[in-house]
């Protein structure tokens, strides 16, 4: 497993990051309840297998149910081998407002304490704002609180998780954050516009949604009728499969990693087979220029429609 720099932090992370949401809460296509999830013992075994296979970067969040606790248990005697990234609880209050400095500090400190206890550690390698919208990114109190955590050493690096391109632009312009976690995949390539700027500012890019919750995979089910155009477009990527790229998840992962500004690609892993798929995806070459250009030309024409959170709200997933 190759390692890449996480921006200018000095932290070297595996190209594949273990996405921990699936081991913590029911998540993804076809996963409706805890009955569809791994047992704790199997999740720990899977985490150990990932670490033994060269994956050293593990992503979780306070809001991912049991994910932090399971990771803490799995890595309690191997903490120095694992790079742990987690995210704070949402910073807005129950009314959707951003609290005052005192309120924000209380919320951040409480969430951080919970994460440290669950992960069985006294520091976080990368501590992130969970869904950093434009107003949070522009809030000086948020910037100061997270900067202080980095200065104190509780967090080795700080970052933000965003959805929209304007949020990525705002995060880069703040000149505070070490890393940005964002959605980027064959379908929605809009965030790629800011990769160069991020790299120029020493910011690591962590790509999530590379498989669009399994839609860019070989196990994609029939989608909701409202997503018929999406389903039709997804089928176009199979024309890119050729020697060295025999599976759609492999193609999707290598597409993201073909961008040198990307520090790691988050892959949701809740089965040994998916771990092996992720490992196989980084073997051999990435993409030559011709294939990369073909893939870039097949971006979905309306990226604004590719909002998985909205699809969830509409009952389309």
**pLDDT of the chain, 317 residues: tens digit per residue:** 899 999 999 999 999 999 999 999 888 767 778 877 899 999 999 999 999 999 999 999 999 999 999 999 999 999 999 999 999 999 999 999 999 999 999 999 999 999 999 999 999 999 999 999 999 999 999 999 999 999 999 999 999 999 999 999 999 999 999 999 999 999 999 999 999 999 999 999 999 999 888 888 876 668 899 999 999 999 999 889 886 778 888 899 999 999 999 999 999 888 898 899 889 888 877 788 999 999 999 999 999 999 887 888 898 87
C-alpha–C-alpha distance, residues 93 and 96, integer Å: 5
**CB of 38 within 8 A of CB of 23?**
yes
CB count in 10 Å sphere of residue 245: 20
* Distance set, CA 68 to CA 8, 14, 181, 195, 260 (Å): 26, 19, 18, 29, 29
> Tell me, what CATH number does 117's domain have?
3.20.20.100
Q: What is the DSSP letter of 96?
A: S
Please provide residue 118's backbone torsions phi and psi, each rounded to the nearest 5 degrees.
-65, -40
**CB of 213 within 8 A of CB of 29?**
yes
* Distance set, CA 285 to CA 250, 274, 280 (Å): 11, 20, 11
Rg (CA), the chain: 19
C-alpha–C-alpha distance, residues 231 and 283, integer Å: 28
Domain of 289 in residue numbering reads as 3-313
- Residue 206 contacts by C-beta under 8 Å, 6 or more apart in sequence? 6, 17, 59, 85, 159, 179, 180, 181, 182, 262, 263, 264, 265, 266
**CB of 91 within 8 A of CB of 135?**
no
The count of domains in the chain is 1
**CB of 234 within 8 A of CB of 167?**
no
């Amino acid at each position: 497993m190759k390692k890449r720099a996480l921006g200018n932090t000095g932290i070297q992370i595996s190209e594949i990051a273990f996405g921990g949401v699936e081991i913590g809460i029911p998540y993804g296509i076809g996963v409706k309840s805890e009955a569809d999830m791994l047992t704790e013992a199997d999740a720990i075994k899977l985490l150990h297998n990932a670490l033994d296979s060269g994956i050293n970067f593990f992503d979780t969040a306070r809001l991912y149910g049991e994910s932090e606790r399971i990771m803490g248990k799995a890595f309690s005697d191997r903490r120095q081998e694992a790079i742990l990234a987690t995210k704070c609880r949402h910073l807005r209050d129950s009314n959707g407002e951003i609290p005052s400095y005192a309120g924000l500090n209380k919320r951040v400190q409480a969430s951080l304490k919970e994460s440290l206890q669950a992960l069985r550690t006294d520091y976080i390698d990368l501590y992130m704002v969970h869904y950093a919208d434009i107003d949070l990114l522009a809030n000086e109190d948020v910037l100061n609180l997270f900067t202080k955590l980095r200065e104190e050493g509780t967090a080795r690096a700080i970052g933000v998780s965003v959805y929209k391109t304007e949020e990525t632009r705002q995060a880069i312009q703040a000149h505070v954050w070490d890393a940005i976690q964002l959605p980027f995949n064959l379908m929605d390539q809009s965030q790629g516009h800011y990769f160069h700027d991020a790299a120029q500012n020493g910011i690591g890019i962590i790509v999530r949604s590379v498989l669009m919750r399994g839609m860019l995979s070989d196990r994609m089910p029939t989608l909701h009728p409202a997503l018929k155009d999406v389903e039709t477009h997804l089928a176009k990527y199979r024309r890119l499969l050729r020697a060295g790229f025999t599976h759609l998840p492999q193609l999707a992962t290598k597409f993201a990693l073909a961008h040198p500004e990307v520090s790691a690609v988050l892959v949701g892993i809740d089965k040994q087979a998916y771990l092996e798929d992720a490992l196989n995806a980084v073997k051999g070459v990435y993409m030559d220029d011709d294939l990369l250009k073909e893939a870039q030309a097949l971006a979905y024409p309306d990226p604004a429609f590719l909002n998985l959170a909205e699809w969830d709200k509409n009952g389309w997933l």
